[in-house]
């Protein structure tokens, strides 16, 4: 019997053309990341049975929930998909305890047992003291815990988390993230997590699937994605500059042409179409062209500055857009400001080229 989630779905709706196949083992967390509108939440809705796809098959631990070819489409209440909604969707007219008891009650558990179980889940998630309060009287973090307790108390076989931290402030976020990770490890469920913030995705997920315009464009561990991003979105996630390039044939130093930018690279084993990537920290900024060992030096201007705690991230327009990271002192010395001319240099050896 195949364990965990196996899903292949296809759905066209408005501008969205979704065609995705995913597989998640018990105890494994897969993060779906991607730009908004790429179909991440739609995927969760299909898995939960809230949205019928045009075609598809969904099975969890061998139990088939959806098979359009066989004409099978179980309604949400007959699947066991625990969906944690982005805004939690707690029932405002019920107390925290009644919210958590809702699932067991709906599945026929006697009221008293359901209440006890709800209380136990709330205590376990650290909100036992708030059991008799309504959602409106709870803080964002407390609501999230109640929602999680409600989802888990329904004994799901698959856990779907839609932007679980989007509604939390930064401090609560890191606390809850840690708790959630421990909870997920214990639950031994297949988990699909939709995350907008890559930090959440990488902190919680074993694997990341990047969904762009309805397609999984890249899938792998954090390290795999960071090592070889294949789309600008993934590069952005990994914090790298990445360009699709056409690489000259031959050995030694050679040209790799991207749109609006020519790079000099070392890539003996790659020629033709590929990708060239380099880290923002490997970009040297100067006020004039450099006479130095760096084989790449592009003139352009500063488009934007983003101060980080220990450095400044500079977006440079030099034929193509690239990101550099320099110290605050360097930024001050160069008097970097939007519109200011600047030269960006990168050593050929700092550029990774892959097919």
Residues that bind another protein (CB under 8 A): 48-50, 75-77, 79, 81-83, 85, 87, 89-93, 102-103, 106-107, 150-151, 154
Edge-first strand listing for the sheet containing 284-286? 284-286, 341-346, 296-307, 311-318, 320-327
Quick one: 61 or 219, whose CB is closer to another protein? 61
The owner of tokens 């939390």 is 168
Quick one: 150 or 207, whose CB is closer to another protein? 150
Quick one: 162 or 325, whose CB is closer to another protein? 162
d(CA 354, CA 180): 36
- Tokens describing residue 350: 């700092």
Q: Supply the minimum distance, in Å, between the C-beta of residue 58 and another protein.
A: 14
Q: Supply the minimum distance, in Å, between the C-beta of residue 225 and another protein.
A: 30
- Tokens describing residue 187: 């639950």
Quick one: 69 or 78, whose CB is closer to another protein? 78
Q: Find the helix packing angle between 96-106 and 111-124, rounded to 10°.
A: 130
Q: Supply the minimum distance, in Å, between the C-beta of residue 245 and another protein.
A: 44
Quick one: 104 or 214, whose CB is closer to another protein? 104
d(CA 265, CA 189): 45
Q: Supply the minimum distance, in Å, between the C-beta of residue 205 and another protein.
A: 21
Q: Supply the minimum distance, in Å, between the C-beta of residue 204 and another protein.
A: 20
Tell me which residue of 165, 185, 24, 197 sits closest to 87, measured CA to CA: 165
Q: What is the CA radius of gyration of the chain?
A: 25
Inter-residue contact 305 to 340 (CB < 8 Å): no
Quick one: 81 or 216, whose CB is closer to another protein? 81
Quick one: 61 or 248, whose CB is closer to another protein? 61
Q: Supply the minimum distance, in Å, between the C-beta of residue 235 and another protein.
A: 34
CA angle 35, 38, 42 (to 5 degrees): 125
CB neighbour class for 67 (10 Å; exposed up to 12, middle 13-18, buried from 19): middle
Give SS3 for 157: coil
Phi, psi of 189 (to 5 degrees): -105, 155
Beta strand 63-67 pairing with 55-60: antiparallel
Q: Supply the minimum distance, in Å, between the C-beta of residue 157 and another protein.
A: 12
Inter-residue contact 94 to 84 (CB < 8 Å): no
Q: Supply the minimum distance, in Å, between the C-beta of residue 63 and another protein.
A: 15
Beta bridge partners of 82: 159
Quick one: 26 or 76, whose CB is closer to another protein? 76
């Amino acid at each position: 019997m195949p364990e965990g989630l196996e899903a292949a779905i296809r759905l066209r709706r408005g501008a969205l053309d979704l065609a995705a196949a995913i597989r998640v083992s018990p105890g494994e967390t897969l993060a779906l990341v991607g730009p908004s509108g790429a179909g991440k939440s739609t995927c969760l809705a299909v898995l939960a049975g809230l949205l019928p796809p045009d075609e598809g098959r969904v099975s969890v631990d061998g139990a088939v929930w959806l098979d359009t070819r066989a004409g099978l489409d179980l309604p949400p209440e007959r699947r066991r998909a625990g969906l944690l909604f982005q805004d939690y969707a707690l029932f405002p007219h019920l107390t925290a305890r009644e919210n958590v008891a809702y699932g067991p009650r709906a599945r026929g558990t006697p009221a008293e047992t359901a209440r006890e179980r709800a209380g136990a889940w709330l205590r376990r998630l650290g909100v036992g003291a708030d059991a008799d309060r309504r959602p409106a009287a709870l803080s964002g973090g407390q609501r999230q815990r109640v929602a999680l307790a409600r989802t888990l108390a329904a004994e799901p076989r698959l856990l779907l988390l839609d932007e679980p931290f989007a509604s939390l402030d930064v401090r609560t976020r890191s606390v809850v993230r840690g708790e959630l990770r421990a909870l997920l490890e214990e639950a031994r469920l297949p988990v699909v997590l939709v995350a907008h913030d890559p930090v959440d995705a990488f902190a919680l997920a074993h694997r990341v699937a990047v969904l762009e315009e309805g397609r999984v464009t890249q899938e792998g561990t954090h390290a795999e994605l960071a090592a070889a991003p294949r789309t600008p979105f993934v590069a952005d996630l990994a914090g790298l500059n990445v360009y699709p390039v056409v690489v000259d044939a031959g050995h030694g130093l050679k040209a790799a042409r991207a749109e609006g930018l020519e790079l000099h690279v070392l890539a003996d084993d790659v020629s033709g179409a590929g990708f060239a990537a380099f880290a923002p920290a490997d970009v040297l900024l100067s006020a004039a062209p450099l006479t130095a060992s760096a084989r790449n030096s592009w003139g352009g201007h500063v488009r934007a500055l983003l101060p980080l705690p220990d450095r400044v991230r500079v977006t440079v327009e030099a034929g193509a857009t690239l990101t550099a990271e320099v110290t605050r002192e360097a930024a001050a010395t160069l008097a970097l400001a939007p519109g200011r001319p600047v030269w960006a240099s990168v050593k050929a050896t700092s550029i990774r080229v892959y097919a």
